[in-house]
Structure 1
Amino acid sequence: MTRNTAREIAVHLSYEMNFTRLTAGELLDQRLTAESFAALAEEEPLYSEAPNAKQDQYIRRLVSGVAEHAAELDTYIAKYARGWSFARIPLVASAIMRVAMFEILYMPDVPNGVSINEAVEIAKKYETPETVKFINGILGSFVRQELPEEKKEN
């Protein structure tokens, strides 16, 4: 499994957080098992390989961080969603942006450009071209406006 795949799985799980009463930890414990991946692999090739320890840790960090900082991340999304009310933003698009923004804000080992590019690539699989542009625009504005100069280059 590549980091790209782990990131996309984190987006799936962040999206799923919208529909469950489970905590992030409970959801992760249920979903990050070989049995769960085997069951999902039949429908979604993304789950054909269960994560190793490093990938598991990365997915857990992203999903837990997105859950913990959801209000903050949503505030940034709403701030830069010019012409869109937050309620109008597709839940998948919100999950994609939350994951990317969390990486940008809290995972300095991941370059900003990588977070944005990966978010756009994931969005291309699930969203309309208009929404992909919207996501790219929000993330670009977010980095330009919210980050100090020394972190913009990351």
Structure 2
Amino acid sequence: MKRKEAREKAVQTLFQLDNTEMTIEDAIPYITDTDRPIDPFYESLVKGTTEHRDEIDATLAEKLENWSLDRLPKIERTVLRLAVYELLHHEDVPHRVVLNEAIELCKQFGDEKSGRFVNGVLSKFEEK
């Protein structure tokens, strides 16, 4: 699985997990092919974003202007959480790649406004 596909599947899984009682172990089979081993990058994105959600949400809350996380549309919130996880915990992925992938995910699962909004929020994160 390429990283782009891993991110797409991670967004779908995280979207499914948002505001439900479902566990990661329950959600993953809905999104992935259970006949093949789970892709390590995909798994790290899902588990890492879930495990670090409080830290990610606190970081996001500092960057949001005139918005709260609860008011964000679910797809934007999900893509932002995934992207912030990557920015904070996957230093091997360039900042620009995370931004571009997040915008593409918004275009795929949301709309053009979603991409612009997510770009605006993520542009407040400094490159490392």
Bin of the TM-score, shorter chain as denominator length? 0.7 to 0.9
Structure 2 equivalent of residue 10 of structure 1: 10
Structure 2 equivalent of residue 135 of structure 1: 118
- The 2-side partners of 1:29 and 1:127 are apart by 23
Aligned length: 128
Q: CA deviation at 1:25?
A: 3.4
- The 1-side partners of 2:22 and 2:68 are apart by 27
TM-score computed with the length of structure 1 as normaliser: 0.73
Structure 1 equivalent of residue 59 of structure 2: 76
Tell me which moved more, 114-123 or 70-79. 70-79
Match of 2:78 among 89, 95, 120: 95
- The 1-side partners of 2:58 and 2:112 are apart by 24
TM-score computed with the length of structure 2 as normaliser: 0.86
- Could you give the per-residue CA deviations for residues 75-108 of structure 1, whole angstroms, max 9, x where no partner exists? 1222211122222201111111111111111111
Q: Which runs of 4+ in 1 moved over 6 A?
A: none
The answer (yes or no) to whether the contact 2:9–2:31 under 8 Å persists in 1 is: no
Unmatched tracts of structure 2, length 5 or more: none
**Of Structure 1 and Structure 2, which has the larger fraction of its residues in helix?**
1
Give the structure with higher Rg (CA). Answer: 1
RMSD (Å) for aligned C-alpha atoms? 2.0
- The 1-side partners of 2:48 and 2:75 are apart by 17
Q: CA deviation at 1:113?
A: 0.9
- The 2-side partners of 1:6 and 1:96 are apart by 13
Unmatched tracts of structure 1, length 5 or more: 36-51, 145-151
